[in-house]
Amino acid sequence: MILTKHTEVRIQQRCIPELVLDLLLQYGEVEHQYGGTDLVYFKSKSFTKARKHLENMLKEFDKMKDTYLVRSKQDENNIIITSGYLQGSPRTKTK
């Protein structure tokens, strides 16, 4: 999803999480408008589908409590090296 500067400002001003935009694109109703644009919004049925999707995601997320990842500290791109599940308490080395 590509956001214009205008969109970034508006979603920040209106406290709309990007997750909601993703859900609108996935489950929202589409109404074609003049000028080649679409209005995408939730109707009751599409909102219920999106809510059910989130509820299912939360059930799956609860199972992810012990996950971890290892990332590279070499650059700011967050290169993920590996991922897995913690067994016991994590071993950490700090400098």
Identity of the residue numbered 74? Q
Percent of the chain as helix, strand, coil, to the nearest 5: 40, 20, 40
- CA separation for the pair 66, 71 (Å, rounded): 17
Q: What's the pTM value of the predicted model, to 2 decimals?
A: 0.71
Q: What is the pLDDT along the chain (95 residues), one digit of tens a residue?
A: 899 999 999 999 999 999 999 999 999 999 999 999 999 999 999 999 999 999 999 999 998 988 988 888 877 777 888 999 888 766 665 55
